Amino acid sequence: MPADEGSLAHRRHVPSRLVAPDSLTARLDLEEIFGRKAPLHIDLGCGDGSFLCALAQRMPDKNFLGIERLLNRVRTSARKAASLDNVRLLRMESFYAVRYLLPAESVERFYLLFPDPWPKRRHHRRRVVTPDFLGSIHAALEKNGSIYIATDDADYFRKIKGLAESDSSFAISDADVDLPPSKFGRIFREKGAPIQWLELRKISPLK
């Protein structure tokens, strides 16, 4: 569900990179939000914004939207993005935003890095990657668009891969991991934890 904190756009401690939707059901006007038309990349659960902002600096010709539900993380990300014209932030649950706010075929690439694995079996229903989630991702991706997924949790990786293999609307491959490090990526790498990567590329139905 969307965050219920209300609009943060007018609070002094949050720079204007924050998107404050007028409606929680209408699709976002991405060209208006960014002030230009460009390929869109979205970081789902962008955390402290380090990965998002590093990507935006690397690819200034693309637009970047970070989606994060936790207020303190949004504030930190907004401060880091203050000087980046191609970054916007949305305080929202990722699944809700993908399903209800993103226009169809509007996203070139999603990034889902280290989503909470909810390791206890009774909590597995809280995991974000579900058939419904993948269906919403597919609808939002443009032709041949993709989602990059990374996790250090072997069980969650197997479940995600199994869901993808049973979904004929995606082609599965190993992700190109030449990407800036995220906060959790650095932590897991320092601990020596193996990180699993997956790329799911949209397959459009034949007409």
Q: Give the DSSP letter of residue 92.
A: S
- Catalytic entry in 116, 132, 155, 176: 116
- Torsion region of 203: left, alpha or beta (phi above 0 gives left; psi -120 to 50 gives alpha): beta
Q: Tokens at residue 104, please?
A: 């169809």
Q: Are 56 and 179 in contact (CB under 8 A)?
A: no
Q: Are 197 and 114 in contact (CB under 8 A)?
A: no
Instruction: Report how far residue 14's alpha carbon sits from residue 78's, in angstroms, rounded to the nearest whole number.
Output: 6
Instruction: Report how far residue 109's alpha carbon sits from residue 120's, in angstroms, rounded to the nearest whole number.
Output: 30
Question: Using alpha carbons only, what angle is made at residue 131 by residues 172 and 158, rounded to the nearest 5 degrees?
Answer: 50
Instruction: Report how far residue 30's alpha carbon sits from residue 180's, in angstroms, rounded to the nearest whole number.
Output: 25
116 is catalytic: yes
Residues marked as catalytic = 116
